[in-house]
Structure 1
Amino acid sequence: MVNNKVRCIVYGQQHVGKTSFILSYLNLPIQHQNISCKESFVKTEILNDQIVCLSIEKISKEEDLTNEEILKTDICILSFSVNDPISFAYIIHGKSIICKYKPEMPLIILATKSDLRNSMLKDHPCIDMSRVHLFASEIGAYAYFETSIFLNDESSLTFRQAIKIVKLVNDYNNTIKLQMVSPIQKMFSTFKNIWNKTNNMFREQIQENNHDKDDNEEEEENTIITAKHKAQNSTVEEKHDDKIKLLSTLSATNLEYIDINDTVNNLTEKETFV
């Protein structure tokens, strides 16, 4: 299984039912409390044999919808109450903030308290559904849902659909990136591959030449050393032969040892006599 992470913002005015909708999805007790501060929730889903960690950020205040929050988010659910036109105008303005920092952000429109559409009370006029559909079409929303905690609506459907939309958008963007590779980039990539292969071949050739050169130098050095040894051996043999010849000559003439001092004395005596 592949482990993925998806970050989702649920944005809308306070009191529209965002927290109840999220708690219903998490199978947690619904607390009818109006909390204006930002809250975070996490749930793990399994879709198409893929484990998905869904991080949900509930934001009510416009000042919390910051550049940093938007840029690190994968998808945003704009939530309003079907009986509150002000909450509908609130998400219209929120959409403009999102587009300012991340125009390609996938959006889902969520209408809460849909049970009030069937109410006969005159003090609960509901926003016409055609108006909502027109807005969703204008902003390019990927989906539109109506839900109510009193009608046992499947809230998990909205979040599971959000995960599928994120995966669909990511797959599409990856395909577009592959198709946008220009012929010049392809040519440069081909040239780069050829250049790398040529450099590798040249490097291998240099290594082989250096290896052969080292072998030749070693062989020449061995040859010189061998020649020196031969020359030294030849000189030693010649000296030995000379000694042998000298000894042989002395033996053949029966020469005796001559005292140089006696010879000098004899020569002196002869000179005096003359």
Structure 2
Amino acid sequence: MLKGSIVALITPMDLKGNICKKSLKNLIEYHISNNTTAIVSVGTTGESATLNTNEHIKIIKYTVEIANQRIPIIAGTGSNSTLESINLTKKFENSGIIACLSVTPYYNRPTQEGLYQHFKAITENTNLPQILYNVPIRTGCDLLPKTIIRLSKFQNIIGLKDATGDLTRVQKILSKVKKNFMLISGDDLTALDFVKLGGHGVISVTANIAAKKMSKIYQLALKGNFKKAYKKNKKLKKLHKILFSETNPIPIKWAAKYLKLISNNTLRLPLTKLTKKNKLKLISILKTI
């Protein structure tokens, strides 16, 4: 079971919009040296929506190669097409990843039965462990606790990334899933409360630039030292908020470039540059912490 601070890694690009392998290596080394639990490669924060399939596969394989078993790698493999999700998942069998993160099908807004059948089909076509990913604000559909509980019965569905921010779901899910089912927050702002209620950690945007701080906060929380964890997290609250002042990953890529973790903060359309107003706010927060 993965616990603690897991980073939703950004995908660094050069000025022409091509993948920057040098910056990718720098980021991976940064997370290894700062005790990040694991890396999610090419999830939402990794701009999966603007990468073609070959790039998607290449980045994950680069990440596995650079990490060289020094940190676990989780591959983003979700799609709004069940067949595409299956095909993408199969590309990573025997690749060195430890699990797949599979987002609910976006845009076509399936029913709960449709969501169940989608993930059932994926898990029946691979032996790779699957982590469900629910982020209704971006997908237009919500994977409800009753459906998560049904899906948890499959042996290789091992957990859930919950980015709803709805803390009432934590115990509803944990009370009815198998004992070793991972419940991971996908919302930095509420993640510590999520862990206090029984969750196991966070797949974090903030960790891209505050890896050591995030790692320490969740180490403390998992040891039950919430007083100290909340004290440390209070210093990051403004950062958690500003990183979602514009569409993710616009602010986090700008911040990573500002802190010289990557060479460029290039984004692909339809994502655009961070506004001047939010740059100034972000600079002020970064200098404070």
TM-score greater than 0.5 by the shorter chain: no
In terms of fraction of residues, the more helix-rich structure is: 1
In terms of fraction of residues, the more strand-rich structure is: 1
Q: TM-score, normalised by structure 2?
A: 0.29
